[in-house]
Chains A and B, each alone.
Chain A
Protein backbone atom coordinates (compact mmCIF):
# COMPACT_ATOMS: atom_id res chain seq x y z
CA UNK A 1 0.00 0.00 0.00
CA UNK A 2 2.47 2.53 1.29
CA UNK A 3 5.21 1.51 -1.06
CA UNK A 4 2.93 1.74 -4.09
CA UNK A 5 1.87 5.18 -2.92
CA UNK A 6 5.48 6.22 -2.56
CA UNK A 7 6.27 4.83 -5.97
CA UNK A 8 3.42 6.77 -7.45
CA UNK A 9 4.65 9.97 -5.89
CA UNK A 10 8.17 9.26 -7.07
CA UNK A 11 6.98 8.65 -10.60
CA UNK A 12 4.92 11.79 -10.48
CA UNK A 13 7.93 13.81 -9.41
CA UNK A 14 10.02 12.22 -12.11
CA UNK A 15 7.28 13.01 -14.61
CA UNK A 16 7.17 16.64 -13.57
CA UNK A 17 10.93 16.93 -13.73
CA UNK A 18 11.02 15.39 -17.18
CA UNK A 19 8.12 17.48 -18.37
CA UNK A 20 9.89 20.59 -17.16
CA UNK A 21 13.22 19.66 -18.69
CA UNK A 22 11.55 18.87 -22.00
CA UNK A 23 13.01 15.35 -22.17
CA UNK A 24 11.28 12.98 -24.51
CA UNK A 25 8.53 11.17 -22.65
CA UNK A 26 7.60 7.94 -24.33
CA UNK A 27 4.29 7.76 -22.53
CA UNK A 28 2.05 10.16 -20.71
CA UNK A 29 3.33 10.75 -17.20
CA UNK A 30 1.35 11.81 -14.15
CA UNK A 31 1.32 15.61 -13.89
CA UNK A 32 2.76 15.93 -17.39
CA UNK A 33 2.20 19.51 -18.45
CA UNK A 34 3.39 19.74 -21.99
CA UNK A 35 3.42 18.10 -25.38
CA UNK A 36 6.15 15.44 -25.76
CA UNK A 37 9.07 16.37 -28.01
CA UNK A 38 8.67 12.94 -29.50
CA UNK A 39 11.14 10.75 -31.32
CA UNK A 40 11.27 12.04 -34.89
CA UNK A 41 12.75 15.17 -36.39
CA UNK A 42 9.22 16.15 -37.40
CA UNK A 43 7.82 15.72 -33.90
CA UNK A 44 10.64 17.89 -32.55
CA UNK A 45 9.81 20.64 -35.00
CA UNK A 46 6.11 20.30 -34.16
CA UNK A 47 7.07 20.76 -30.54
CA UNK A 48 9.13 23.75 -31.66
CA UNK A 49 6.29 25.61 -33.40
CA UNK A 50 4.06 24.74 -30.46
CA UNK A 51 6.51 26.28 -27.99
CA UNK A 52 7.06 29.30 -30.22
CA UNK A 53 3.31 29.94 -30.31
CA UNK A 54 3.13 29.37 -26.58
CA UNK A 55 5.86 31.88 -25.72
CA UNK A 56 4.40 34.44 -28.10
CA UNK A 57 1.11 34.08 -26.25
CA UNK A 58 2.87 34.39 -22.91
CA UNK A 59 4.63 37.56 -24.04
CA UNK A 60 1.44 39.16 -25.33
CA UNK A 61 -0.33 38.00 -22.18
CA UNK A 62 2.25 39.64 -19.93
CA UNK A 63 1.81 42.95 -21.74
CA UNK A 64 -2.00 42.90 -21.92
CA UNK A 65 -2.62 41.53 -18.45
CA UNK A 66 0.12 43.73 -17.03
CA UNK A 67 -1.50 46.84 -18.48
CA UNK A 68 -4.87 45.67 -17.23
CA UNK A 69 -3.76 44.93 -13.69
CA UNK A 70 -1.99 48.28 -13.57
CA UNK A 71 -5.15 50.03 -14.76
CA UNK A 72 -7.34 48.18 -12.28
CA UNK A 73 -5.14 49.30 -9.38
CA UNK A 74 -4.20 52.74 -10.55
CA UNK A 75 -7.47 54.00 -11.96
CA UNK A 76 -9.88 52.94 -9.25
CA UNK A 77 -12.57 55.36 -8.23
CA UNK A 78 -11.86 54.54 -4.59
CA UNK A 79 -8.38 55.98 -5.05
CA UNK A 80 -9.96 59.13 -6.37
CA UNK A 81 -9.26 58.53 -10.04
CA UNK A 82 -10.90 61.09 -12.30
CA UNK A 83 -11.93 59.67 -15.68
CA UNK A 84 -10.21 61.03 -18.74
CA UNK A 85 -12.32 62.16 -21.68
CA UNK A 86 -10.40 60.79 -24.65
CA UNK A 87 -11.69 57.79 -26.51
CA UNK A 88 -9.19 57.08 -29.21
CA UNK A 89 -5.56 57.31 -30.15
CA UNK A 90 -4.70 56.64 -33.76
CA UNK A 91 -1.00 55.99 -33.17
CA UNK A 92 -1.64 53.34 -30.58
CA UNK A 93 -4.33 51.74 -32.71
CA UNK A 94 -1.97 51.55 -35.66
CA UNK A 95 0.78 50.06 -33.51
CA UNK A 96 -1.34 47.31 -32.05
CA UNK A 97 -2.74 46.36 -35.40
CA UNK A 98 0.58 46.15 -37.23
CA UNK A 99 2.78 44.53 -34.58
CA UNK A 100 0.50 41.48 -34.29
CA UNK A 101 0.66 41.11 -38.07
CA UNK A 102 4.44 40.88 -37.86
CA UNK A 103 4.24 38.41 -34.97
CA UNK A 104 1.78 36.24 -36.88
CA UNK A 105 4.03 36.17 -39.93
CA UNK A 106 6.92 35.14 -37.68
CA UNK A 107 4.83 32.23 -36.39
CA UNK A 108 3.43 31.29 -39.78
CA UNK A 109 6.82 31.08 -41.46
CA UNK A 110 8.31 28.05 -39.63
CA UNK A 111 4.85 26.49 -39.48
CA UNK A 112 4.49 26.70 -43.24
CA UNK A 113 7.88 25.11 -43.85
CA UNK A 114 6.97 22.35 -41.46
CA UNK A 115 3.60 21.60 -43.09
CA UNK A 116 5.31 21.41 -46.44
CA UNK A 117 7.84 18.92 -45.09
CA UNK A 118 5.18 16.88 -43.35
CA UNK A 119 3.27 16.57 -46.59
CA UNK A 120 6.30 15.22 -48.43
CA UNK A 121 5.98 11.42 -48.51
CA UNK A 122 8.51 11.05 -51.34
CA UNK A 123 11.46 8.66 -51.11
CA UNK A 124 9.89 6.54 -48.43
CA UNK A 125 11.47 3.14 -47.89
CA UNK A 126 8.52 1.13 -46.71
CA UNK A 127 4.74 1.37 -46.74
CA UNK A 128 2.29 0.42 -44.04
CA UNK A 129 -1.43 0.49 -44.65
CA UNK A 130 -3.50 1.32 -41.61
CA UNK A 131 -7.21 0.56 -41.53
CA UNK A 132 -9.47 1.64 -38.68
CA UNK A 133 -12.36 -0.58 -37.63
CA UNK A 134 -14.78 -0.32 -34.75
CA UNK A 135 -12.74 -0.77 -32.51
CA UNK A 136 -9.37 -2.02 -33.65
CA UNK A 137 -6.63 -1.31 -36.18
CA UNK A 138 -5.36 -3.44 -39.04
CA UNK A 139 -1.76 -3.03 -40.09
CA UNK A 140 -0.60 -4.24 -43.49
CA UNK A 141 3.09 -4.16 -44.35
CA UNK A 142 2.50 -3.37 -48.01
CA UNK A 143 6.14 -3.16 -49.06
CA UNK A 144 9.57 -3.02 -47.51
CA UNK A 145 12.33 -1.48 -49.66
CA UNK A 146 10.29 -2.09 -52.76
CA UNK A 147 9.49 -5.69 -51.95
CA UNK A 148 5.83 -6.56 -51.36
CA UNK A 149 5.03 -8.46 -48.16
CA UNK A 150 1.90 -10.39 -47.19
CA UNK A 151 2.30 -9.53 -43.48
CA UNK A 152 -0.76 -8.05 -41.89
CA UNK A 153 -2.53 -8.32 -38.57
CA UNK A 154 -5.15 -6.77 -36.36
CA UNK A 155 -4.20 -4.89 -33.24
CA UNK A 156 -6.67 -4.58 -30.37
CA UNK A 157 -6.82 -3.46 -26.76
CA UNK A 158 -4.90 -5.84 -24.49
CA UNK A 159 -6.93 -8.36 -22.51
CA UNK A 160 -5.91 -6.99 -19.12
CA UNK A 161 -7.04 -3.41 -19.83
CA UNK A 162 -10.18 -4.82 -21.39
CA UNK A 163 -11.04 -6.74 -18.24
CA UNK A 164 -10.43 -3.76 -15.98
CA UNK A 165 -12.31 -1.24 -18.10
CA UNK A 166 -15.66 -3.04 -18.00
CA UNK A 167 -18.21 -0.88 -16.19
CA UNK A 168 -18.27 -1.71 -12.52
CA UNK A 169 -15.48 -4.29 -12.85
CA UNK A 170 -14.18 -3.06 -9.51
CA UNK A 171 -10.64 -3.71 -10.76
CA UNK A 172 -7.98 -1.10 -10.25
CA UNK A 173 -6.63 0.58 -13.40
CA UNK A 174 -3.39 1.18 -11.52
CA UNK A 175 -2.76 -2.56 -11.60
CA UNK A 176 -2.38 -2.71 -15.39
CA UNK A 177 1.39 -2.59 -15.72
CA UNK A 178 4.01 -3.54 -18.26
CA UNK A 179 7.73 -3.05 -17.77
CA UNK A 180 7.09 -1.03 -14.62
CA UNK A 181 4.84 1.41 -16.45
CA UNK A 182 1.11 1.81 -16.23
CA UNK A 183 -0.31 0.90 -19.62
CA UNK A 184 -4.03 0.94 -18.80
CA UNK A 185 -5.90 1.53 -22.08
CA UNK A 186 -2.61 2.20 -23.82
CA UNK A 187 -1.62 -1.36 -24.58
CA UNK A 188 -2.47 -3.76 -27.41
CA UNK A 189 -2.16 -7.44 -28.12
CA UNK A 190 0.06 -6.89 -31.17
CA UNK A 191 2.02 -3.65 -31.52
CA UNK A 192 2.97 -2.14 -34.85
CA UNK A 193 6.64 -3.02 -35.25
CA UNK A 194 8.71 -0.47 -37.18
CA UNK A 195 12.40 -0.19 -37.96
CA UNK A 196 14.40 2.72 -36.57
CA UNK A 197 15.84 5.16 -39.10
CA UNK A 198 13.65 4.09 -42.02
CA UNK A 199 11.24 6.47 -43.69
CA UNK A 200 7.87 4.82 -43.36
CA UNK A 201 4.95 5.91 -45.52
CA UNK A 202 1.52 5.27 -44.07
CA UNK A 203 -1.62 4.97 -46.10
CA UNK A 204 -4.52 5.39 -43.76
CA UNK A 205 -8.17 4.54 -44.25
CA UNK A 206 -11.12 3.08 -42.40
CA UNK A 207 -13.73 0.48 -43.02
CA UNK A 208 -16.79 1.62 -41.07
CA UNK A 209 -16.74 5.06 -39.48
CA UNK A 210 -14.08 7.75 -39.20
CA UNK A 211 -11.18 7.08 -36.82
CA UNK A 212 -7.97 8.97 -36.30
CA UNK A 213 -4.54 7.41 -35.93
CA UNK A 214 -2.51 9.26 -33.35
CA UNK A 215 0.79 8.59 -31.63
CA UNK A 216 1.87 11.84 -29.90
CA UNK A 217 5.54 10.89 -30.07
CA UNK A 218 5.41 10.83 -33.86
CA UNK A 219 4.06 14.38 -33.89
CA UNK A 220 0.80 14.07 -35.79
CA UNK A 221 -2.57 12.45 -36.13
CA UNK A 222 -4.31 11.57 -39.35
CA UNK A 223 -7.98 10.80 -39.81
CA UNK A 224 -8.83 7.35 -41.11
CA UNK A 225 -11.85 7.85 -43.34
CA UNK A 226 -13.90 5.18 -45.10
CA UNK A 227 -13.66 5.51 -48.87
CA UNK A 228 -10.67 7.82 -48.68
CA UNK A 229 -6.97 7.16 -48.44
CA UNK A 230 -4.80 9.55 -46.49
CA UNK A 231 -1.03 9.61 -46.54
CA UNK A 232 1.53 10.50 -43.93
CA UNK A 233 5.02 9.46 -42.95
CA UNK A 234 7.50 9.08 -40.14
CA UNK A 235 11.14 8.24 -39.51
CA UNK A 236 11.70 7.17 -35.93
CA UNK A 237 15.10 8.06 -34.46
CA UNK A 238 15.07 6.14 -31.20
CA UNK A 239 14.10 2.58 -30.44
CA UNK A 240 11.28 2.32 -27.95
CA UNK A 241 7.58 1.77 -27.41
CA UNK A 242 5.29 4.68 -28.26
CA UNK A 243 1.66 4.72 -27.30
CA UNK A 244 -1.32 6.56 -28.66
CA UNK A 245 -5.09 6.32 -29.10
CA UNK A 246 -7.83 6.71 -31.65
CA UNK A 247 -8.57 10.42 -31.74
CA UNK A 248 -11.88 10.65 -33.57
CA UNK A 249 -15.13 9.67 -31.88
CA UNK A 250 -16.01 6.35 -33.47
CA UNK A 251 -18.73 4.87 -31.29
CA UNK A 252 -19.02 3.20 -27.97
CA UNK A 253 -15.49 1.84 -27.67
CA UNK A 254 -13.75 4.88 -29.07
CA UNK A 255 -11.77 5.15 -25.84
CA UNK A 256 -10.62 1.57 -26.13
CA UNK A 257 -8.71 1.27 -29.40
CA UNK A 258 -5.15 2.22 -28.52
CA UNK A 259 -2.16 2.29 -30.82
CA UNK A 260 1.25 0.96 -29.88
CA UNK A 261 4.28 1.49 -32.10
CA UNK A 262 7.37 -0.50 -31.23
CA UNK A 263 10.47 0.85 -32.92
CA UNK A 264 13.35 -1.65 -33.09
CA UNK A 265 16.75 -1.68 -34.82
CA UNK A 266 16.58 -2.38 -38.53
CA UNK A 267 18.18 -5.84 -38.30
CA UNK A 268 15.79 -6.95 -35.61
CA UNK A 269 12.89 -5.68 -37.68
CA UNK A 270 14.03 -7.53 -40.79
CA UNK A 271 14.33 -10.74 -38.82
CA UNK A 272 10.84 -10.26 -37.42
CA UNK A 273 9.46 -9.48 -40.86
CA UNK A 274 11.03 -12.63 -42.28
CA UNK A 275 9.45 -14.86 -39.64
CA UNK A 276 6.12 -13.16 -40.16
CA UNK A 277 6.42 -13.66 -43.90
CA UNK A 278 7.12 -17.36 -43.62
CA UNK A 279 4.31 -17.71 -41.07
CA UNK A 280 1.99 -15.96 -43.50
CA UNK A 281 3.14 -18.19 -46.34
CA UNK A 282 2.60 -21.31 -44.22
CA UNK A 283 -0.87 -20.19 -43.27
CA UNK A 284 -1.62 -19.59 -46.93
CA UNK A 285 -0.64 -23.07 -48.07
CA UNK A 286 -2.58 -24.56 -45.15
CA UNK A 287 -5.63 -22.64 -46.29
CA UNK A 288 -5.13 -23.16 -49.98
CA UNK A 289 -6.45 -26.74 -50.12
CA UNK A 290 -9.86 -26.23 -48.45
CA UNK A 291 -10.32 -22.98 -50.33
CA UNK A 292 -9.70 -24.76 -53.62
CA UNK A 293 -12.25 -27.49 -52.81
CA UNK A 294 -14.94 -24.98 -51.96
CA UNK A 295 -14.18 -23.20 -55.16
CA UNK A 296 -14.66 -26.30 -57.31
CA UNK A 297 -17.77 -27.28 -55.42
CA UNK A 298 -19.25 -23.78 -55.84
Chain B
Protein backbone atom coordinates (compact mmCIF):
# COMPACT_ATOMS: atom_id res chain seq x y z
CA UNK B 1 0.00 0.00 0.00
CA UNK B 2 2.86 2.30 0.79
CA UNK B 3 3.62 2.80 -2.87
CA UNK B 4 0.13 4.07 -3.68
CA UNK B 5 -0.64 6.28 -0.70
CA UNK B 6 2.51 8.42 -0.62
CA UNK B 7 2.52 8.33 3.15
CA UNK B 8 -1.06 9.60 3.39
CA UNK B 9 -3.84 7.39 4.74
CA UNK B 10 -6.52 9.92 3.82
CA UNK B 11 -6.57 12.71 1.27
CA UNK B 12 -9.77 14.73 0.99
CA UNK B 13 -10.06 17.06 -2.01
CA UNK B 14 -12.68 19.84 -2.29
CA UNK B 15 -15.26 17.51 -0.82
CA UNK B 16 -18.89 18.64 -0.89
CA UNK B 17 -21.89 16.72 0.36
CA UNK B 18 -25.42 18.06 0.07
CA UNK B 19 -28.62 16.55 1.41
CA UNK B 20 -31.17 18.29 -0.82
CA UNK B 21 -30.41 21.97 -0.07
CA UNK B 22 -28.56 21.33 3.18
CA UNK B 23 -24.79 21.52 2.75
CA UNK B 24 -23.34 19.05 5.25
CA UNK B 25 -19.75 19.13 3.98
CA UNK B 26 -18.68 22.33 2.28
CA UNK B 27 -15.47 22.15 0.24
CA UNK B 28 -13.39 20.18 2.71
CA UNK B 29 -9.65 19.68 2.10
CA UNK B 30 -7.70 17.53 4.51
CA UNK B 31 -4.73 15.19 4.55
CA UNK B 32 -4.11 12.60 7.23
CA UNK B 33 -0.78 10.80 7.36
CA UNK B 34 -0.35 7.05 7.68
CA UNK B 35 0.11 6.09 11.29
CA UNK B 36 -1.47 9.29 12.53
CA UNK B 37 -4.12 9.48 15.23
CA UNK B 38 -6.35 12.26 13.97
CA UNK B 39 -9.04 13.86 16.09
CA UNK B 40 -11.99 15.09 14.03
CA UNK B 41 -13.88 17.58 16.16
CA UNK B 42 -16.80 19.89 15.66
CA UNK B 43 -20.22 20.80 17.04
CA UNK B 44 -23.31 18.64 16.52
CA UNK B 45 -24.23 18.64 12.87
CA UNK B 46 -20.82 19.94 11.75
CA UNK B 47 -20.45 17.14 9.23
CA UNK B 48 -18.13 14.68 10.98
CA UNK B 49 -20.22 11.56 10.51
CA UNK B 50 -21.05 12.58 6.95
CA UNK B 51 -17.34 12.90 6.16
CA UNK B 52 -16.57 9.51 7.68
CA UNK B 53 -19.40 7.88 5.75
CA UNK B 54 -18.03 9.26 2.50
CA UNK B 55 -14.59 7.88 3.35
CA UNK B 56 -15.99 4.42 4.05
CA UNK B 57 -18.16 4.40 0.94
CA UNK B 58 -21.62 4.55 2.52
CA UNK B 59 -22.29 7.99 1.03
CA UNK B 60 -21.34 9.34 -2.37
CA UNK B 61 -19.75 12.79 -2.57
CA UNK B 62 -21.80 15.51 -4.27
CA UNK B 63 -18.59 17.13 -5.51
CA UNK B 64 -14.89 16.56 -5.05
CA UNK B 65 -13.46 13.26 -3.92
CA UNK B 66 -11.33 11.55 -1.31
CA UNK B 67 -8.61 8.93 -1.29
CA UNK B 68 -8.18 6.25 1.35
CA UNK B 69 -4.73 4.62 1.27
CA UNK B 70 -4.39 6.07 -2.20
CA UNK B 71 -7.67 4.57 -3.45
CA UNK B 72 -10.39 6.83 -4.81
CA UNK B 73 -13.67 6.44 -2.90
CA UNK B 74 -15.50 6.97 -6.17
CA UNK B 75 -13.74 4.15 -8.00
CA UNK B 76 -11.83 1.74 -5.78
CA UNK B 77 -14.18 1.04 -2.90
CA UNK B 78 -13.44 -2.68 -2.99
CA UNK B 79 -9.79 -2.04 -2.24
CA UNK B 80 -10.71 0.39 0.52
CA UNK B 81 -13.03 -2.12 2.20
CA UNK B 82 -10.13 -4.52 2.66
CA UNK B 83 -8.26 -1.97 4.76
CA UNK B 84 -10.74 -0.17 6.98
CA UNK B 85 -12.70 -0.73 10.15
CA UNK B 86 -15.60 1.50 11.12
CA UNK B 87 -17.18 2.05 14.51
CA UNK B 88 -20.52 3.69 13.66
CA UNK B 89 -21.92 6.45 15.86
CA UNK B 90 -25.06 4.39 16.48
CA UNK B 91 -24.28 0.89 17.72
CA UNK B 92 -25.16 -1.63 14.98
CA UNK B 93 -25.20 -5.19 16.32
CA UNK B 94 -27.21 -8.37 15.96
CA UNK B 95 -29.32 -8.46 19.12
CA UNK B 96 -30.12 -12.16 19.02
CA UNK B 97 -26.43 -13.07 18.83
CA UNK B 98 -24.01 -13.01 21.74
CA UNK B 99 -21.13 -10.55 21.80
CA UNK B 100 -18.73 -13.26 20.71
CA UNK B 101 -21.01 -14.35 17.88
CA UNK B 102 -21.15 -10.78 16.60
CA UNK B 103 -17.37 -10.56 16.66
CA UNK B 104 -17.04 -13.92 14.95
CA UNK B 105 -19.52 -12.97 12.23
CA UNK B 106 -17.73 -9.75 11.37
CA UNK B 107 -14.37 -11.52 11.55
CA UNK B 108 -15.70 -13.91 8.93
CA UNK B 109 -17.16 -11.11 6.82
CA UNK B 110 -13.71 -9.55 6.78
CA UNK B 111 -12.26 -12.85 5.59
CA UNK B 112 -10.20 -13.70 8.66
CA UNK B 113 -9.06 -17.31 9.22
CA UNK B 114 -10.95 -19.05 12.04
CA UNK B 115 -8.03 -19.37 14.45
CA UNK B 116 -7.09 -15.70 13.97
CA UNK B 117 -10.66 -14.66 14.82
CA UNK B 118 -10.56 -16.58 18.06
CA UNK B 119 -7.13 -15.27 19.00
CA UNK B 120 -7.97 -11.65 18.25
CA UNK B 121 -11.37 -11.94 19.94
CA UNK B 122 -9.87 -13.25 23.16
CA UNK B 123 -7.26 -10.50 23.10
CA UNK B 124 -9.79 -7.71 22.56
CA UNK B 125 -12.30 -9.02 25.09
CA UNK B 126 -9.70 -9.29 27.79
CA UNK B 127 -8.48 -5.81 27.07
CA UNK B 128 -11.90 -4.31 27.83
CA UNK B 129 -12.79 -6.74 30.64
CA UNK B 130 -15.59 -7.97 28.50
CA UNK B 131 -15.09 -11.74 28.50
CA UNK B 132 -18.05 -12.62 30.67
CA UNK B 133 -20.56 -10.26 29.12
CA UNK B 134 -19.46 -11.33 25.67
CA UNK B 135 -21.15 -14.69 26.26
CA UNK B 136 -24.54 -13.08 26.77
CA UNK B 137 -26.97 -12.10 24.05
CA UNK B 138 -26.68 -8.47 22.97
CA UNK B 139 -30.42 -8.03 23.57
CA UNK B 140 -29.75 -7.72 27.31
CA UNK B 141 -26.79 -5.35 27.10
CA UNK B 142 -26.56 -2.06 28.96
CA UNK B 143 -25.80 1.11 26.98
CA UNK B 144 -22.10 1.01 27.77
CA UNK B 145 -21.79 -2.68 26.90
CA UNK B 146 -23.35 -1.98 23.50
CA UNK B 147 -20.79 0.73 22.89
CA UNK B 148 -17.89 -1.50 23.90
CA UNK B 149 -18.96 -4.29 21.60
CA UNK B 150 -19.71 -1.79 18.84
CA UNK B 151 -16.09 -0.67 18.95
CA UNK B 152 -14.63 -4.16 19.21
CA UNK B 153 -16.56 -5.29 16.14
CA UNK B 154 -14.95 -2.42 14.22
CA UNK B 155 -11.50 -3.61 15.24
CA UNK B 156 -11.87 -7.40 15.12
CA UNK B 157 -9.92 -7.68 11.85
CA UNK B 158 -7.12 -5.40 13.01
CA UNK B 159 -7.75 -2.84 10.24
CA UNK B 160 -4.96 -0.64 8.91
CA UNK B 161 -7.22 2.41 9.01
CA UNK B 162 -9.92 2.78 11.67
CA UNK B 163 -12.77 5.28 11.78
CA UNK B 164 -14.08 5.61 15.30
CA UNK B 165 -17.20 7.80 15.45
CA UNK B 166 -17.66 8.73 19.11
CA UNK B 167 -16.54 5.31 20.36
CA UNK B 168 -16.49 6.14 24.06
CA UNK B 169 -19.95 7.67 24.51
CA UNK B 170 -21.69 6.13 27.50
CA UNK B 171 -18.67 4.18 28.74
CA UNK B 172 -17.73 4.38 32.40
CA UNK B 173 -14.44 6.14 33.27
CA UNK B 174 -12.49 2.93 33.67
CA UNK B 175 -13.67 1.52 30.36
CA UNK B 176 -12.97 4.82 28.67
CA UNK B 177 -9.44 4.87 30.02
CA UNK B 178 -8.87 1.35 28.74
CA UNK B 179 -10.09 2.41 25.32
CA UNK B 180 -7.71 5.36 25.39
CA UNK B 181 -4.84 3.07 26.26
CA UNK B 182 -5.84 0.70 23.52
CA UNK B 183 -6.22 3.42 20.91
CA UNK B 184 -2.80 4.74 21.97
CA UNK B 185 -1.29 1.29 21.49
CA UNK B 186 -2.65 1.10 17.93
CA UNK B 187 -0.48 4.06 17.08
CA UNK B 188 2.67 2.11 17.84
CA UNK B 189 1.48 -0.51 15.32
CA UNK B 190 1.43 2.14 12.61
CA UNK B 191 -2.37 2.12 12.33
CA UNK B 192 -4.16 5.23 11.20
CA UNK B 193 -7.07 6.28 13.39
CA UNK B 194 -9.69 8.91 12.71
CA UNK B 195 -11.44 9.61 15.97
CA UNK B 196 -14.45 11.83 16.52
CA UNK B 197 -15.47 12.70 20.03
CA UNK B 198 -17.17 15.38 22.08
CA UNK B 199 -14.89 14.66 25.01
CA UNK B 200 -12.37 17.27 23.98
CA UNK B 201 -9.90 16.31 26.69
CA UNK B 202 -9.88 12.82 25.17
CA UNK B 203 -8.94 14.23 21.78
CA UNK B 204 -6.35 16.50 23.38
CA UNK B 205 -4.67 13.61 25.16
CA UNK B 206 -4.74 11.12 22.30
CA UNK B 207 -4.48 12.95 19.00
CA UNK B 208 -1.34 13.70 17.05
CA UNK B 209 -3.31 16.37 15.26
CA UNK B 210 -6.89 17.57 15.41
CA UNK B 211 -9.09 19.17 12.82
CA UNK B 212 -12.09 21.20 13.91
CA UNK B 213 -14.95 21.51 11.45
CA UNK B 214 -18.00 23.70 11.64
CA UNK B 215 -20.81 23.91 9.07
CA UNK B 216 -18.89 21.43 6.94
CA UNK B 217 -15.77 23.61 6.70
CA UNK B 218 -12.39 23.05 8.28
CA UNK B 219 -11.80 25.96 10.66
CA UNK B 220 -8.71 24.77 12.54
CA UNK B 221 -5.97 22.20 11.97
CA UNK B 222 -2.86 21.36 13.92
CA UNK B 223 -1.46 19.61 16.96
CA UNK B 224 -3.43 20.29 20.12
CA UNK B 225 -0.47 22.31 21.39
CA UNK B 226 -0.26 24.46 18.25
CA UNK B 227 -3.95 25.25 18.41
CA UNK B 228 -3.85 26.15 22.09
CA UNK B 229 -0.92 28.49 21.50
CA UNK B 230 -2.47 30.08 18.46
CA UNK B 231 -5.75 30.80 20.21
CA UNK B 232 -4.16 31.57 23.58
CA UNK B 233 -6.20 28.92 25.32
CA UNK B 234 -5.25 26.78 28.29
CA UNK B 235 -6.83 23.67 26.86
CA UNK B 236 -8.32 22.38 23.65
CA UNK B 237 -11.88 22.72 24.87
CA UNK B 238 -11.36 26.45 25.21
CA UNK B 239 -10.13 26.55 21.61
CA UNK B 240 -13.23 24.64 20.55
CA UNK B 241 -15.54 27.05 22.38
CA UNK B 242 -13.74 30.09 21.01
CA UNK B 243 -13.83 29.22 17.36
CA UNK B 244 -16.94 27.11 16.76
CA UNK B 245 -20.46 28.42 16.52
CA UNK B 246 -19.25 31.73 15.07
CA UNK B 247 -22.22 31.94 12.79
CA UNK B 248 -24.52 31.86 15.78
CA UNK B 249 -22.52 34.53 17.60
CA UNK B 250 -22.23 36.76 14.56
CA UNK B 251 -25.82 36.17 13.57
CA UNK B 252 -24.99 35.08 10.03
The answer on A and B forming one complex is no
Interface residues of B (CB under 8 A from A): none
